[in-house]
């Protein structure tokens, strides 16, 4: 008898059933789920996968073993932080068997970080994310106006923060124009109300500053001001935002994104509104300093004017010298013009005489005449150029006559 046959005979009859894989997997699944309905498991997150389905698949591991785990989409909203590779966590869930692969896994219901609390971890993760995007950058923070014409306040109507803010604001600047946008400052819907209030106030073109404020509290109480939607609404505000959330020791993400962070609502009123009496005193001081500065400038310029006046020559002396020089130059110019006129007159008469000497009129005055054929008007120098019947014009020294040719003589006649 072989070994397998002996083992079969030694096995009790009720245990000699042969299981299919499906049957065995079902039995194991029922045993696990019946004996481990809920179990806490501690380990390090590894092999993290985030498919489009919205479920989170990962492995819990320690130094000696691993356990597959899944956090379904419906349970993700109960985990305020993001799972990360290497994060040490404690998971509450139930054990089950995934039949297609014959693997057991932990179906996670709740996850808590080991060490830091869940909210604190979520806060740190969001800080890193927003800082990487530049939402905390100091160079983008805007200065506050010296005297805002109108401000908006986002807070609860029932909280002490609003009373403290209004008391100090109206004491410092009685003419303050404040528009209050009431919201819940803690609880499930607080973040959305804060976002809506920031959007409404930002759409009002007359508002120059927005103050977001509430009193102190625990991390859970202040959590609405750590929400990502609130941070992005503060970042998108078209006007500067002052964050006065909690007390001095409290620090929220809203504080980090805001243009100005102050520790208390009272401090917010002090930084937003100037003290009227202090401002008047400051203006009086500036006025005195301006008057003193102007007096110094006038005095300095007077000294300079006196020094320049002492160095300045009397312009009447220069004017007298210029007139004398002008008289001399005028005489020289007159003489030069007369001399030039005489020379040009002599040259003109000389040229005139030369012109008269060669002028045809001078020849005519000696008894000569000029004959021109009509109607052409060309001058006739030789008789052969004329014929009987031609009409001619005879120009004398004085006057002219017209004639008709009766006869043309030859060269020898």
Q: What confidence tens digit (pLDDT) does each residue in 227-237 have?
A: 999 999 999 99
Range in 61-70, 114-123, 324-333 the model is least confident about: 114-123
The contacts of residue 326 (CB under 8 Å, 6+ apart) are none
* pLDDT at 13 (0 to 100): 52
Of residues 77, 108, 73, 75, the one with CA closest to residue 91? 108
DSSP 3-state of 363: helix
Pairing, β 370-373 against β 391-395: antiparallel
Of residues 32, 6, 29, 33, the one with CA closest to residue 19? 29
Give the CATH superfamily of 3-115: Nucleic acid-binding proteins (2.40.50.140)
Of residues 144, 127, 68, 64, the one with CA closest to residue 100? 68
Q: What confidence tens digit (pLDDT) does each residue in 1-22 have?
A: 555 555 555 555 545 567 778 8
If one compares 283 and 237, the residue with the highest pLDDT of the two is 237
Report how far residue 231's alpha carbon sits from residue 408's, in angstroms, rounded to the nearest whole number: 130
366 phi and psi angles, rounded to 5 deg? -95, 10
- pLDDT score of 257 more than 60: yes
In the predicted model, what is the mean pLDDT of residues 344-370? 76
- pLDDT score of 115 more than 60: yes
Dmax over CA atoms of the chain, in Å, equals 188
Report how far residue 206's alpha carbon sits from residue 203's, in angstroms, rounded to the nearest whole number: 9
In the predicted model, what is the mean pLDDT of residues 326-338? 88
Report how far residue 91's alpha carbon sits from residue 71's, in angstroms, rounded to the nearest whole number: 10
Q: What confidence tens digit (pLDDT) does each residue in 148-182 have?
A: 999 999 999 988 899 999 999 999 988 889 999 99
Of residues 97, 101, 107, the one with CA closest to residue 26? 97
CATH 3.40.50.10550-classified regions of the chain: 124-274
CATH of domain 124-274: 3.40.50.10550
Q: What confidence tens digit (pLDDT) does each residue in 351-363 have?
A: 877 777 766 666 6
Contact 109, 92 (CB under 8 A): yes
Angle, CA 298 vertex, CA 292 and CA 300 arms, to 5°: 100
* pLDDT at 169 (0 to 100): 92
CATH 2.40.50.140-classified regions of the chain: 3-115
Contact 44, 86 (CB under 8 A): yes
Per-residue pLDDT band for 412 (boundaries 50, 70, 90) equals: low
Which neighbouring-strand residues pair with 391?
Answer: 404
Range in 165-169, 257-261, 314-318 the model is least confident about: 314-318
- pTM of the shown model: 0.52
Task: Judge if the upstream peptide bond of residue 223 is cis by omega within 30 degrees of 0.
Answer: no
Q: What confidence tens digit (pLDDT) does each residue in 180-215 have?
A: 999 999 888 999 999 999 999 999 999 999 999 998
Element (H, E) at 337: helix 315-358
Where residue 134 falls (left for φ over 0; alpha for ψ -120 to 50; beta otherwise) is left
* pLDDT at 14 (0 to 100): 46
């Amino acid at each position: 008898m072989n070994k397998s046959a002996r083992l079969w005979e030694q096995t009790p009859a009720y245990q000699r059933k042969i299981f299919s894989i499906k049957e065995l997997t079902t039995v194991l699944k029922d045993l696990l789920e019946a004996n481990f309905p809920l179990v806490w498991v501690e380990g390090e997150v590894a092999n993290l996968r985030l498919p489009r389905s919205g479920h989170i698949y990962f492995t819990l591991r320690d130094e000696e073993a691993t356990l597959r785990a899944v956090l379904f989409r419906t349970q993700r909203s109960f985990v305020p932080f993001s799972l990360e590779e290497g994060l040490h966590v404690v998971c509450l869930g139930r054990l089950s068997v995934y039949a297609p692969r014959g693997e057991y896994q932990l179906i996670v219901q709740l996850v808590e970080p080991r060490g830091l609390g869940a909210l604190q971890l979520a806060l740190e993760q969001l800080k890193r994310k927003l800082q990487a995007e530049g939402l905390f950058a100091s160079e983008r923070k805007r200065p506050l106006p010296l005297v805002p014409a109108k401000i908006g306040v986002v807070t609860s109507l029932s909280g002490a923060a609003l009373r403290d803010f209004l008391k100090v604001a109206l004491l410092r600047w009685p003419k303050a124009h404040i528009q209050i946008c009431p919201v819940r400052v803690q609880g499930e819907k607080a973040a959305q109300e804060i976002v809506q209030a920031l959007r409404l106030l930002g759409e009002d073109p007359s508002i120059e500053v927005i103050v977001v404020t509430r009193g102190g509290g625990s991390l859970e109480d202040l959590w609405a001001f750590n929400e990502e939607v609130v941070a992005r609404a503060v970042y998108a505000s078209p006007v500067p935002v002052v964050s006065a959330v909690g007390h001095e020791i409290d620090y929220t993400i809203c504080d980090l994104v805001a243009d100005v962070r102050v520790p208390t609502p009272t401090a917010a009123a002090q930084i937003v509104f100037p003290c009227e009496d202090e401002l008047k005193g400051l203006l009086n001081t500036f006025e005195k300093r301006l008057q003193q500065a102007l007096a110094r400038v006038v005095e300095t310029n007077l000294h300079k004017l006196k020094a320049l006046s002492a160095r300045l020559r009397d312009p009447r002396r220069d004017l007298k010298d210029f007139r004398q020089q002008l008289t001399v130059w005028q005489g020289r110019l007159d003489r030069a013009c007369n001399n030039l006129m005489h020379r040009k007159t002599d040259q003109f008469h000389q040229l005139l005489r030369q012109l008269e000497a060669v002028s045809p009129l001078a020849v005519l005055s000696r008894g000569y005449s000029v004959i021109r054929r009509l109607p052409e008007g060309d001058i006739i120098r030789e008789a052969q150029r004329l014929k009987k019947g031609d009409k001619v014009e005879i120009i004398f020294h004085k006057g002219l006559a017209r004639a008709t040719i009766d006869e043309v003589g030859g060269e020898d006649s």
